[in-house]
Amino acid sequence: MDCNKVGKLILSLRKENRMTQKQLADAMNISDKAISKWERGLGCPDVSLLRELSEILDVNIERILLGNLEPNDADGGNMKKVKFYVCSNCGNTLTATGEAEVSCCGRKLMPLVPNLADEIHKLTVEEVENDFYVTFTHEMSKTHYISFIAYVTCDRALLIKLYPEQTGEVRFPKMYGRKIYYCCNQHGLWVNG
């Protein structure tokens, strides 16, 4: 941990949050001399203070330790580059349109890499009225099921969460320029496009 980089980051984040050294110190129940010491690079926060510091300054602990808040490359939020993240512990599903640092249940999540549809992981898409009616024959038991289906166009994503023992069908309002992603809880992400 580089105390100079950490100190500069703390200073920057404190000012960004419109806090004085005294206000930050009071929020953490420490002396403002400690904050001054950190910001001048003469020492680093104790490990026991990092969680509270990250919550007050609204920044990831890992970033504090690195002393770095480099922004991601801007990609304009292009939905064609959507990434899906699924927590293997709780099943939480998250999306991002660019590079992201995503964590859940204390674990860092990696974006799922979509596979092209195969015979087991295949969807049928039909036009019904003003909707796309999506059906699939994939098993939907408590141990093996499709956890979500996402309909992605150039400017939006509509995600439907599925649950074990649910029927293998969903409907999406008809939009064009689509890709349909779906996630098997055992075999990962698939794309029907």
Q: Do 58 and 85 reside in the same domain of the chain?
A: no
Q: For all residues of the chain together, what is the average pLDDT?
A: 89
User: In angstroms, rounded to a whole number, what is the distance separating the alpha carbons of residues 150 and 128?
Assistant: 18
Lowest mean pLDDT among 16-25, 97-106, 126-135, 176-185: 97-106
Kindly state whether residues 42 and 104 are assigned to the same domain.
Answer: no
pTM higher than 0.85: no
- For residue range 166-193, what is the model confidence (pLDDT) as tens digits? 999 999 998 877 889 999 999 999 998 6
Q: How far apart are CA 166 and CA 184, in angstroms?
A: 14
Q: Is the pLDDT of residue 99 over 90?
A: no
CATH code where residue 159 lies:
2.60.40.730
The percentage of residues in the chain with a pLDDT greater than 90, rounded to a whole number, is: 61
Structural domain that includes position 61: 3-66
Same domain flag for 58 and 86: no
Which residues does 126 contact at the CB level (< 8 Å), separation at least 6? 132, 133, 135
Note whether residue 73 is domain-resident.
Answer: no
Q: Is residue 169 part of a domain?
A: yes
Q: Do residues 163 and 85 share a domain?
A: yes
- Is 80 exceeded by the pLDDT of residue 97? yes
Give me the pLDDT at residue 26, please: 94
CATH number at residue 18: 1.10.260.40
